[in-house]
Structure 1
Amino acid sequence: MYTNKAIQVLDRMRLSNGAYTASLSNDYSYVWIRDIVYTVLPFINEPSDRYVNAYHALFDMFKTYEWKIDIHRKKKPIYLFEYIHSRYSTDLKEMPVEWGHAQNDAIGAFLWGVGEGYRLGQKVIRDKKDIEIVQKLVDYLECLQYWQAKDNGMWEENMEVHASSIGACVAGLNAVKILVNVKEDLIKKGENALRNLLPRESETKETDLALLSLVFPYRVVDRDQALKIVETVSSKLERTHGVIRYENDQYYNEGSEAEWCFGFPWLGLCYLELGQFHKASEYIEKTKRIVPDNWEVPELYVGGTNQPNGNTPLAWSVAMSYIFLTKMEDLAQQKIS
């Protein structure tokens, strides 16, 4: 069955420490916090070593840099290297390379994955120390004033206030308030900021693929706002081989914006969240079109071409395609029975 192939591809990107490399390409032989959160989503609903060990690896990594978290629970980072890094070597060490490390959504994503995993019975928390790390990350987001903080966002680019980053933090804080102390006001400030910024992603971007995260997996917007986000992304950003991240995106742009493969299953998953099964089903064929027989789903198709880029397979693309097609297949089976 095709689903086994998907898991086999993901397993090839699984490291001995439990984390995942973002891709098997030379360019992406790193570990991103956010990529791991999305890569292990297929395993969240049933007890899974893959899910649990990935989070234990990230907890251990945060322990290595606990001294840094301690500093910035009280003192806002100024330089990018002072932020909790978003990207690490495969042995989970910081790298002394300039990078857009101010990615508040990555911290929100981690907290969400811990809290949601815990709620669903995953043994993500091992001991008191893990709980301490969660609390310190909550304090870090408070110190950053995440609800009004400029960051590099999901795409690691220019510093501005991103709705997708605020939403990830709101989701993360909500998810861990059962485990640690999260002031209600800390969540409220994020929710208010989100209301004021949406439906825009940021000052410079009217819409953005990253906004889909507020619908799936985070579910931090109401139905009307979710519909607006999904319909705008679909109508403005959808292309032949995937979904562009935003208009005038220059990454892998050769005459037009690069088309990201995981955009198709992501839109499908959002329509499923909204109970719009007829719309979701439109994305089955679109998703199958970007999933090759060997399940090595690319990151993107280079803008203006029919060629995928070298970051193939991308773990995140494989995981999202797998989740969506599996869910649609399960729904079809239920209808038959």
Structure 2
Amino acid sequence: MNMEMALQVIDKMRLPNGAYMASLSKDYNYVWIRDVVYTVLPFLHDRSGRYEKAYHALFNLFKDYEWKIDIHTEKKPVYLFEYIHSRYSTDLKEIDVEWGHAQNDAIGAFLWGVGEGMKHGRKVIRDEADLRIVQKLVDYLECLQYWQAEDNGMWEENIELHASSVGACVAGLKAVKMLVDVKADLIRKGEETLRFLLPRESETKEVDLALLSLIYPYRLVDRKTALTIVQQVSERLERERGCIRYEHDQYYNEGKEAEWSFGFPWLGLCYSELGMSHKVNEYAEKTIRNIPDNWEVPELYIGGKNEPNGNTPLAWSVALSYLFLTRVQSFQTAIPSGNS
């Protein structure tokens, strides 16, 4: 399998400003903060500059809307458009379309990525102005009272308290507490919410693919909770071509829930974090079966149709598949050659 081709596909979605489109499709050629965070994880350990430049682009975006962040470090957003937007045009401008912008996990993910980048020697922070933005984003989460704030969550849907959103914020705050002022109480309140919510995702969802983020990349939960999460996801959400996001999901549902391509590599990465090599091998095989020769991994397979949707390739799908298979290779675990 040509692993370098994966990076070439990701590069097709890289913009001149350093950020990434979610996909090349006309419906998804926007920039999502969360998608960028996941898409650049393959570059965390290299010197290509892609990791840093992506974060510099997002810092520049936040500076353009610093006036808005300033308002909502003191006054909670009421309407969705008042939140820091989750989705932008390719020139990193807000899009004037109604959207589920209350996505606290995206801000947590960004903060986590900044801290993780610094930890691995990436020059994510350029100057005091970048540090100022980090501090204001921390203050924004405090003003939101993120630990009890209902939001649209990772899937941009119904507003409720999501464990994956609270967890992303906790991970982000922990990651930047050496860079800026983060009150210990701010982290503690989020951890208390997680103790109350987990292993559920929310009041309406017992099992959700988004919970995997608390294992990889955030490494936030203890082993017992992590094992419960992966077991429930494997048993209830896994399907032939990937994982459904949650039971009764209506997105691209044509008789059945859509099957998301990054479900297999994401589960594989989680089992890798847990040191379960036999499961890592199992999900390596499942991931490889799903990867086309051109590495253009789709967002999902339409429920009931077993065919990819138009959001192909999806940057996040390609990145997680690449991350998982390169990790398997580095463990010198046998990977079957070719596709089946």
Q: State TM-score, norm by structure 2.
A: 0.97
Taking the TM superposition and a 5 Å limit, the aligned residue runs for 1:42-121 are: 42-121=42-121
| C-alpha deviation, 1:45, in angstroms | 1.9
| Equivalence for 1:236 | 236
Match of residue 31 from structure 1: 31
Name the amino acid aligned to 1:35.
D
Q: Which consecutive residues of structure 1, in runs of 5 or more, have no partner in the other structure?
A: none
Give the Cα–Cα distance (whole angstroms) in 1 for the partners of residues 270 and 178 of structure 2.
26
Partner residue, 1:191: 191
Q: Secondary structure at the match of 1:230?
A: helix
Counterpart residue number, 1:302: 302
Structure 2: distance between partners of 1:300 and 1:208:
16
1:325 matched to 2:325? The reply is: yes
Work out the CA distance in 1 between the residues paired with 2:206 and 2:48. 38
SS in 2 for 1:160: coil
Match of 1:214 in 2: 214
Query: Which amino acid counterpart does residue 313 of structure 1 have in structure 2?
Result: P
Structure 2 match to 1:163 = 163
RMSD: 1.1
Secondary structure of the equivalent of 2:77? coil
**Structure 1 position 334, deviation (Å):** 10
Map Cα deviations across residues 189-239 of structure 1 (whole Å, 9 max, x no partner): 000000100111000001100000000000111111011111111110000
Structure 2 residues not aligned, in runs of 5+:
336-340
The question of 1:277 aligning with 2:288 is answered: no
Q: Map of 1:136-155 to 2, 5 A cutoff?
A: 136-155=136-155
Query: Is the CA contact (8 Å cut-off) linking 2:297 and 2:317 kept in structure 1?
Result: yes
1:104-161 deviations in Å (ceiling 9; x for gaps): 0000000000001101100000000000000000000000000000000000001000
Structure 1 distance, partners of 2:238, 2:94, is 35
Distance 2:271 2:46 in 1: 23
Question: Match of 2:88, as an amino acid?
Answer: Y
Residues matched between the structures, number: 335
Q: Report what 1:131 is aligned to.
A: 131
> CA–CA distance in 2 between the matches of 1:196 and 1:256?
31
2:222 is the counterpart of 1:226: no
Distance 1:210 1:56 in 2: 26
- Between the aligned partners of 1:130 and 1:332, the Cα distance in structure 2 is 39
For 1:104 and 1:48, locate their aligned partners in 2 and report how far apart those are by CA, in whole Å.
29
- Between the aligned partners of 1:126 and 1:98, the Cα distance in structure 2 is 33
Q: CA deviation at 1:47?
A: 2.9
Q: CA deviation at 1:48?
A: 3.3
Does structure 1 conserve the Cα–Cα contact (< 8 Å) formed by 2:24 and 2:313?
yes
What is the identity, as a one-letter code, of the residue corresponding to 1:88?
Y
- Cα pair distance change 1:141/1:265, threshold 3 Å: same
C-alpha distance in 2 between matches for 1:188 and 1:42: 31
Residue 280 of structure 1 aligns with an amino acid whose one-letter code is V
Deviations 1:229-274 (A, max 9, x none): 1111111000000000000000000111000000000000000000
Structure-2 change in CA distance of 1:318 and 1:334 (3 Å): closer
C-alpha deviation, 1:299, in angstroms: 0.2
Q: TM-score, normalised to structure 1's length?
A: 0.98
Alignment-mate amino acid for residue 241 of structure 1: R
What is the DSSP-based 3-state SS (H/G/I as helix, E as strand, rest coil) of the residue aligned with 1:325? helix
Partners of 1:43 and 1:274 in 2: how far apart? 23
Runs of 4+ in 1 over 3 A off after TM superposition: none
Structure 1 CA distance for aligned equivalents of residues 294 and 150 of structure 2 = 40
The alpha carbon displacement at 1:333 in A equals 6.5
Determine if the alignment matches structure 1 residue 13 to structure 2 residue 10.
no
C-alpha distance in structure 2 between counterparts of 1:27 and 1:173, whole Å: 32
Whole-angstrom distance in 2 between the partners of 1:230 and 1:284 = 15
Q: Matches of 1:214 and 1:99 in 2, distance apart? A: 25
Contact 2:281-2:333 within 8 A present in 1 as well: no
Secondary structure in structure 2 of the residue aligned to 1:332: coil
Aligned to 2:202: 202
Counterpart contact for 1:48–1:122, Cα < 8 Å = no
The SS at the match of 2:331 is: helix
Q: Is the 8 A contact 2:22 2:314 kept in 1?
A: yes
In structure 2, distance between residues paired with 1:332 and 1:317: 23
Percentage of pairs with the same residue: 74
